[in-house]
Amino acid sequence: MEFFRRLKLRCIWSWDGVVATWRTEHSFRSWVWANLISATLALILPLAPAERALILALGILVLAAELLNTAIEDAVDYISTEDHPIAKRAKDAGSAGVAVAAIAAGVAWIVILIG
């Protein structure tokens, strides 16, 4: 029973993170809307199941990257509000992670639509 109690708590904490990020991060809300459009197109267009799965999974990956980026930014800002090159590097790397995930999703769409 301990396993299920801890699983329930992990789900609650994870959902709290999604809700908090939705409320505070414009970028996350923008990616959610972009993914709703992408998912709708993936489900409407005549795509193979594997193509649909790839598009949906990469969209979710972009959201995961944005959540991790928010965590990095929040942790850095909590530690200090002063400008520091290492803090900038951490924030820029988090942002780059989102960009790389988004590029992967875009490349998948291009390959699927051209192929």
Distances (CA, A) of 24 to 44, 65, 80, 81, 101: 31, 16, 19, 18, 21
Cα dihedral value 36, 21, 4, 53, nearest 10? 20
Q: Which residues are catalytic?
A: 66
Please provide the distance, in angstroms rounded to a whole number, between the alpha carbons at the two ends of the chain.
50
Q: CB-side exposure of 18: number of CA atoms within 13 Å?
A: 11
